[in-house]
Amino acid sequence: MKIQPKTLLTSAAGFLVAVAAWQLVATGPMAGGPLPTVTSVAVNLAAVVVTEAFWTSLATTVGIALLGLLTSAVAGIALGILVGSFEPFRYATVAVLEFLKPIPPIVILPLVVLVLGPTGQMSWFLVFLGCLLPIIMQTVDGVHDADPVARDTARSYGLKEPEILLRVVLPSAMPFIGTAIRVAAPGALIITVVAGLLGGGPGLGQSIYQAQAGGDYPTLYALVIVLGVLGMFFQGATSAVERRMLHWHESFREAAHR
Amino acid sequence: MNRKLLLWLLGAGTPVLLLLLWWATSLQSTDTFFPPLKDILQSFQQLWLFAHFQSDVLVSLGNLLLGYAMASAVGVALGFVIALVLVARNVLEPLIHFLRSIPPVALVPIFISLVGFGTEMRVFSIALAALFPTLIATVDGIRSVDSGLKDVARVYRFTTVEKVTQVYLPSAAPQIFSGLQVSLQVAFVVMIASEMLGPSQGIGAMTLLAQQSFMISDMWAGILLLGVIGFAANIVFSLIRRRVLAWYIGSRRLARSS
Amino acid sequence: MKTIFSTSRTSSAATAAQPGKNAMTEEIAPADTTSAPPRLDVSHLAKTYGMGDKARTVIEDLTFTVDAGEVVCIVGPSGVGKTTLLKCLAGLHPSSSGRAAIDGRTISGPPPEMALVFQDYNRSLMPWLTVRKNLMLPLRHLHLSAAELKERCDDALAAVGLSHAEHQYPWQLSGGMQQRVAIARALAYRPEILIMDEPFASVDAQTRFDLEDLCLKIRRDFNMTILVVTHDIDEAVYLADRVVVLGSKPARVLRIVDVDLPAPRDQITTRSLPEFARQRTDVLSLIKRPA
């Protein structure tokens, strides 16, 4: 579907009005207060993005998020297939997983900071834990969704169990895993920021904390804007990757026809 | 049948076994970071039952509920407006897409800078961060209301109020509820974050304080309580969902089994 | 029997009126169609989607009428634009030119005296409401007393034979039962004109016969004017007093066929009449013939 120029225009107008309102409030009723003006934030943003320190912390943030996501994907898929394929494992873990699922990693942040210190390792570990559970659970669902007919066919052709897992079960679980990773990806970024903001881990979260603690509000806003853009980019990139990897799957075929 | 019973025992038994294992292996623990479970439970009882119950636990839960309720009400209402009013959609959608991409916790420093460390800051942070999942799910849910149902509403000349309350709202309810569930988790995370960044009130603040002053079993007690709250909130939510969406859950189960 | 065959359409409608409740039909049904204005008047109706190069004319210059108390069927090959026509009549789509009118009033929005039974029963019932609540939903803004509300629902459910299922959800019922719920909802609304869009297309053959007879029973019991769109020629001939045969594309009226079959109609005896075979062959040859 093409975006009509008129729609684009109203959207741009909406954005401009919001920015103008911000500027008006910041220069009018809240002048001199904690709300920085748009111009000062813009100037700060321009000044910040040319520093090396900014790019280092940006790269650190993205690096930790991606590494955490990647490692939890590998571990999560492996554990998910294990749990999904063997009934005793599934029964043994279901209660534990269901208990842990709704508990966000921020809960154990104090402990992890205590043990690992305010380090990149600490941030990575929180991201890893935070993304692990949803990926495990989606993989388990995916394994269960595997077509039993395809499984039996493979077995009748004399494929061994590990081969069946690799060639039949895993591919059919891929859409579930893809969805899980797509859903987890923005989470990975969020947890990295949380770990920096609250646990002192390196990256943009830490920069935000420093800006807030130092009362440097224009920088604080500039960094939050950067995070928003980064978040949008993360979401866009992960859905693009998912689409590319799963182009054969039905839900995307349907979407393509629309 | 016997095998089923065995599997069931395995499911119920594993968590109990894990707890017992934790209790037994930590009993003689001298590790500073991992105190005996016995000590942790003692701290739990001393801290939360009931010395800090009113001053911290109730305050935290109150903020959580208030912020979440605001987010839910505004999210659903605004979602309706955006989904049904074309101009509102064009103007607001890009803005919302940007705002929701900002890691919710990163908004907390901004609120601190704007309204200080008080209760308002926490409630607003929770409300704003939790707004977006519900809002976006509501918009999606209303846009996917079946055109057949809309035709029925028109043919039988439903009033606008009837269309909204009798057709759109129930029809979008499954999606709204999944948005509300994500919002609840975000609200919980931001509740903890706002307490950890703010002054010394609330469960999150107590937990972080205990960590910083090296009262390790107190910190563990805080983590335990937060975990239980996260889990319990999810359970309560699921119970309400199961009640409200009984028709949806029933029809889905029927569709799957056939 | 021979005498009945030769009677005119209006007199056969009068024969259909049975003693008791149905005597009403006799009084209200016009004795002569030329003196009373048609209930539903469609004249030179056309519908075009899109503009300029992309313009696609779905309906071109349709003209026909439906008299009070009549059952009229519209048949035509699938994809001819029958659903578009109904949506124009129901006031859901505006027509591009020409007009459709009820009792002389041009239809510009959903008319209050009309109810519509949709083709997709599973997309027209509210899945979150029980059968009875589905029936009650359109009645909310009619401000009826509780007693009347109950009576209307009870009557409608009894008419379609679903009194026992009132507390079930639509998705717990079979397709045929769901379509009966949709019909019952229309009945409880007590419309004067009932429009049905391929109402029996997605149910099995036995249910289909039952629903067809239900349709005729409704006409007798509730004195409704009924317009049914179908692609099934046998069904059209069986149900209708008149059949409007549409040709494609765009849709236009090929011919309007008067069906002079005796009443009350019966699935076995009516369908085995030579007259029935002749009528359906007439209609079929109209549709089959290359336009």
- Give the per-residue pLDDT at B80: 93
Residue A51, CA distances (Å) to A43, A48, A56, C38 in order: 13, 6, 9, 82
Closest to C78 in 3D by CA, of C248, C255, C252, C202: C248
Closest to C157 in 3D by CA, of C171, C172, C167, C147: C167
| Mean local confidence (pLDDT), C283-288 | 80
DSSP label at residue A168: I
Q: Does B255 touch chain C (CB under 8 A)?
A: yes
Q: Rounded CA gap, B99 and A57, in Å?
A: 22
> Chain-centre distance of CA A66, in angstroms?
9
Q: What is the mean pLDDT of chain C?
A: 80
Contact B157 C90 (CB under 8 A): no
Considering only CB atoms, A11 lies closest to which of B7, B94, B110, namely: B94
DSSP label at residue C140: G
Residue C18's pLDDT band, with cuts at 50, 70 and 90, is very low
Residue with tokens 């943030």: A61
- Give the per-residue pLDDT at B82: 92
Contact B189 A106 (CB under 8 A): yes
Considering only CB atoms, C171 lies closest to which of B159, B162, B251, namely: B251
Q: Which residues of chain A have pLDDT under 70?
A: 1-3, 246-258
> Chain-centre distance of CA A37, in angstroms?
30
Q: Is C38 in contact with C21 (CB distance < 8 Å)? A: no
Residue C207 pLDDT more than 60? yes
Tally Cβ neighbours within 10 Å of residue B235.
13
Contact A107 B230 (CB under 8 A): yes
Classify B64 as helix, strand or coil.
helix
Q: Rounded CA gap, C175 and C203, in Å?
A: 6
Stretch among B7-16, C10-19, C79-88, C97-106 having the lowest mean pLDDT = C10-19
Residue with tokens 């026509």: C85
Q: Rounded CA gap, A109 and A195, in Å?
A: 7
What ipTM was estimated for this complex?
0.86
> Chain-centre distance of CA A95, in angstroms?
26
pLDDT tens profile B190-229: 999 988 887 668 888 888 888 888 888 889 988 989 999 9
| Residue ranges making up the domain that contains B146 | 36-257
Q: Rounded CA gap, C28 and A252, in Å?
A: 57
pLDDT tens profile B18-48: 889 988 888 888 888 888 888 888 888 887 7
Residue B44, CA distances (Å) to B48, B201, B225, B253 in order: 6, 17, 8, 41
Residue A78, CA distances (Å) to A95, A164, A180 in order: 19, 15, 14
Tally Cβ neighbours within 10 Å of residue B213.
10
DSSP label at residue B159: -
Which strands make up the sheet holding C56-66, listed edge to edge?
Answer: C56-66, C40-49, C97-102, C105-106
Which residues partner with C39 through β-bridges? none
- Residue numbers in B near A14 (CB within 8 A): 90-92, 94-95
- Residue numbers in B near A109 (CB within 8 A): 196
pLDDT tens profile C100-155: 888 888 888 888 889 999 888 888 899 999 999 999 999 988 888 999 999 999 98
Closest to C128 in 3D by CA, of B171, B165, B158: B171
Q: Rounded CA gap, B134 and A229, in Å?
A: 21
Which residues partner with B180 through β-bridges? none
Judge whether B233 lies within some domain. Answer: yes
DSSP label at residue B53: I
- Give the per-residue pLDDT at C36: 63
Burial (CB < 10 A; 0-12, 13-18, 19+), residue C164, is exposed
Residue C25 pLDDT more than 50? no
Q: How far is A115 from chain B (nearest CA, A)?
A: 7
Residue B257 pLDDT more than 80? no
Q: Is C144 in contact with C152 (CB distance < 8 Å)? A: yes
Residue C35 pLDDT more than 80? no
Residue with tokens 């129901």: C90
pLDDT tens profile B168-201: 999 999 999 999 999 999 999 999 998 888 766 8
Q: Does A235 touch chain B (CB under 8 A)?
A: yes
How many contacts does A have with B, using Cβ atoms within 8 A? 151
Judge whether B182 lies within some domain. Answer: yes
Closest to A192 in 3D by CA, of A60, A78, A17, A3: A60
Tally Cβ neighbours within 10 Å of residue B33.
11
Characterize the bridge pairing of strands C193-197 and C56-66: unpaired
Characterize the bridge pairing of strands C252-258 and C40-49: unpaired
Contact A194 B103 (CB under 8 A): yes
Which residues partner with C72 through β-bridges? C227, C242
- Residue numbers in C near B162 (CB within 8 A): 140-141
Residue C251's pLDDT band, with cuts at 50, 70 and 90, is confident
- Give the per-residue pLDDT at C248: 73
In chain B, which residue's Cα lies nearest the Cα of A210? B109
Q: Which CATH class is domain A63-256?
A: mainly alpha
Which strands make up the sheet holding C242-247, listed edge to edge?
Answer: C114-117, C193-197, C225-230, C71-75, C242-247, C252-258
Burial (CB < 10 A; 0-12, 13-18, 19+), residue B115, is middle
Q: Rounded CA gap, A252 and A150, in Å?
A: 21
Q: What is the mean pLDDT of chain B?
A: 88
Read off the CATH number of the domain in which B61 is found.
1.10.3720.10
Residue C24's pLDDT band, with cuts at 50, 70 and 90, is very low
Q: Rounded CA gap, C180 and C166, in Å?
A: 12
How many contacts does B have with C, using Cβ atoms within 8 A? 66
Closest to B195 in 3D by CA, of B208, B210, B185, B186: B208
DSSP label at residue B214: T
Q: Does B15 touch chain A (CB under 8 A)?
A: yes
Torsion of the alpha carbons at A6, A7, A12 and A13, rounded to the nearest 10: 70
- Give the per-residue pLDDT at B233: 92
Which residues partner with C97 through β-bridges? C46
Q: Is B47 in contact with B193 (CB distance < 8 Å)? A: no
Q: Rounded CA gap, B152 and A217, in Å?
A: 54
DSSP label at residue C251: B
Q: Does C189 touch chain B (CB under 8 A)?
A: yes
Q: Is B197 in contact with A197 (CB distance < 8 Å)? A: yes
Residue C199 pLDDT more than 50? yes
- Give the per-residue pLDDT at A258: 36
Contact B148 C189 (CB under 8 A): no
- Give the per-residue pLDDT at B170: 95
Burial B181-206 (b: 16+ CB within 10 A, else e): bbbbbbbbbbbbbbbbbbeebbbbbb
What does chain A come to in residues? 258
Which residues partner with C227 through β-bridges? C72, C195
Which pair of tokens denotes residue A35? 């709300």
Judged by CB atoms within 8 Å, which residues 175-234 of A form the interface with B? Answer: 186, 189-190, 193-194, 197-198, 205, 208-209, 211-212, 215, 217, 220-221, 223-224, 227-232, 234
Judge whether B25 lies within some domain. Answer: no
Q: Rounded CA gap, A60 and A200, in Å?
A: 13
- Give the per-residue pLDDT at B185: 92
Q: Is B157 in contact with B150 (CB distance < 8 Å)? A: no
Tell me chain A's radius of gyration from C-alpha atoms: 23
DSSP label at residue B156: T
Which pair of tokens denotes residue C143? 């401000």
- Give the per-residue pLDDT at A249: 57
Domain count, chain B: 1
Candidates B146, B149, B156, B253: best to mutate against C (most CBs of C within 10 A) is B156
Say which amino acid occupies C271.
R
> Chain-centre distance of CA C243, in angstroms?
11
Classify B163 as helix, strand or coil.
helix
Task: Phi first, then psi: give them for residue C273, nearest 5 degrees.
Answer: -70, 140
- Residue numbers in C near B158 (CB within 8 A): 138, 141
Q: Is C192 in contact with C218 (CB distance < 8 Å)? A: no
- Residue numbers in A near B106 (CB within 8 A): 193, 197, 205, 208, 223-224, 227
Q: Rounded CA gap, C271 and C261, in Å?
A: 10
Q: What angle do CA A82, A85, A91 make, to 5 degrees?
A: 85
C165 or B33, higher pLDDT? C165
Q: What angle do CA B36, B37, B43 make, to 5 degrees?
A: 100
Q: How far is A160 from chain B (nearest CA, A)?
A: 25
| Mean local confidence (pLDDT), C255-265 | 81
